[in-house]
Structure formats: structure tokens, C-alpha cells
């Protein structure tokens, strides 16, 4: 099976790293629970991309181990809506934390920031690349995949609680993903 894997707040703890940056830089006390909508200030997020907080982003517990196991019998590709402007940093993070795990990396358009990247949605990329399953944290992207006949696993987060989950499997962590797929 070919599996698509999202990066931020799915494989990498993006919001966790962003909060460390934001709280230190802007003297705030934000917590993950404060993110009910996945939205960031454009100038602040661009500044974040150029900090050690971003370059030292960590994977979620269990992500690397489960992905390595999944790779044994499946083909894994990255389908991310990160801006193409941070392509090199993205590849460096993938190689450092998930070496020899993914066969390809694709940058989709981003409905949050309106970044065009490839000009294709995650669902369109998955359909084009014959992806059978997408592992994602965005309910919007998960629904788009399901509408195209692609199964979706949704990693639970504060920002994806409201909406119809028809055809989507919600999981709490990578251990649960492993239990479903390995």
C-alpha cells in the first residue's frame, strides 16, 4: 500500500516548537489547548522558520518507529502543505529524523496560508500518486482525501475536534496508528 504522511503536527510537533518560540520571543504563556483553530500570524511564522526552534523541531513520540515499521511493507511519501520556501529545511529535518523512510516528498497548496506550492491539494497529489491512505492532523485535508476515495487517519488535536468524521479514523497517537496498520 502507498501511504501519504503529513509532517507538521502529525509527524513533527510543530505547534509545540512554535509555542516555545512564541512564548520566549513575545513573552506569552500560550499552551497547545489555546489552538482551537490552526492559524498563525504570517510575519511571526516566517520569523519562526528562521529560528533554532524550527530547525530543532522534534518528531512526536513513536512516529519514527511506527513509520520505519510501516515502510517494511508499504511505500511512504510525504505530502505537506509547508511552504516551498522552506524546502531545504524540510528535507534536512526529514533526513535527520526519518532517514530512508520516504520515497518522495510533495508540497501541496495550503488552504490556511493560500500558498500555492504545487498548485495541487493534498487529495489531488494523493490521487495522482495512487496513495491509498493519508495520515493527517487536518480535518479539512482528511475530508478532501475521503471525498476522493482515499482513506484518512486523523491524529487527534485541539484544532480538529469539530466536524463530521465520516470515513475518517481518529487516533490519539502514533502507538494507535501502529496498532491499526502494523
pLDDT tens digits, 39-88: 888 889 999 999 999 999 999 999 999 999 999 999 999 999 999 999 99
What mean pLDDT is reported for the chain? 93
- Asked if residue 38 has pLDDT above 90, the reply is no
- Asked if residue 175 has pLDDT above 80, the reply is yes
Give the DSSP H or E segment for 4.
strand 2-5
- As given in the structure block, the three cell numbers for residue 130 are 495512487
- Maximum Cα–Cα distance across the chain: 46
pLDDT attached to residue 117? 63
37, burial (CB in 10 Å: exposed 0-12, middle 13-18, buried 19+):
exposed
Phi, psi of 116 (to 5 degrees): -80, -40
- Matching residue, cell 490521487: 127
For 83-117, write each residue's pLDDT tens digit.
999 999 999 999 999 999 999 999 998 655 555 66
Percent of the chain at pLDDT > 70 equals: 95
Percent of the chain at pLDDT > 90 equals: 85
Structural domains of the chain, with CATH = 2-12+58-181 (3.40.50.1000), 14-55 (no CATH)
Distances (CA, A) of 75 to 3, 5, 52, 104, 150: 6, 11, 31, 9, 15
Distances (CA, A) of 30 to 20, 26, 51, 60, 147: 9, 10, 18, 19, 35
Phi, psi of 141 (to 5 degrees): -65, -35
Q: For the ranges 12-16, 33-37, 109-113, 157-161, which has the lowest average pLDDT?
A: 109-113
Distance CA 51, CA 153 (A): 31
Q: What is the DSSP string of 48-99?
A: HHTSHHHHT--BPTTHHHHHHHHHTTSEEEEEE-S-GGGHHHHHHHHHHHST
pTM score of the predicted model:
0.93
pLDDT attached to residue 111? 56
Phi, psi of 173 (to 5 degrees): -165, 180
Residue 56: which of 107, 13, 105 has the closest Cα? 13
Which residues partner with 78 through β-bridges?
A: 5, 105
Amino acid at each position: 500500500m502507498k501511504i501519504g504522511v503529513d509532517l507538521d503536527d502529525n509527524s513533527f510537533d510543530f505547534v509545540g516548537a512554535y509555542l516555545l518560540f512564541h512564548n520566549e520571543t513575545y513573552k506569552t504563556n500560550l499552551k497547545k489547548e489555546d489552538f482551537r483553530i490552526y492559524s498563525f500570524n504570517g510575519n511571526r511564522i516566517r520569523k519562526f522558520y528562521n529560528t533554532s526552534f524550527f530547525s530543532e523541531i522534534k518528531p512526536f513520540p513513536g512516529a519514527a518507529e511506527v513509520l520505519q515499521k510501516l515502510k517494511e511493507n508499504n511505500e511512504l511519501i510525504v505530502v505537506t502543505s509547508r511552504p516551498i520556501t522552506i524546502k531545504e529545511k524540510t528535507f534536512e529535518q526529514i533526513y535527520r529524523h526519518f532517514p530512508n523512510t520516504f520515497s518522495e516528498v510533495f508540497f501541496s497548496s495550503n488552504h490556511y496560508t493560500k500558498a500555492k506550492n504545487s498548485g495541487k491539494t493534498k487529495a489531488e497529489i494523493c490521487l495522482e500518486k495512487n496513495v491509498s491512505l493519508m495520515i493527517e492532523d487536518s480535518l479539512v485535508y482528511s475530508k478532501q482525501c475521503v471525498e476522493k476515495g482515499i482513506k484518512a487517519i486523523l491524529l487527534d488535536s485541539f484544532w480538529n475536534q469539530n466536524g463530521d468524521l465520516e470515513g475518517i479514523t481518529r487516533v490519539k497517537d502514533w502507538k494507535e496508528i501502529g496498532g491499526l496498520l502494523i
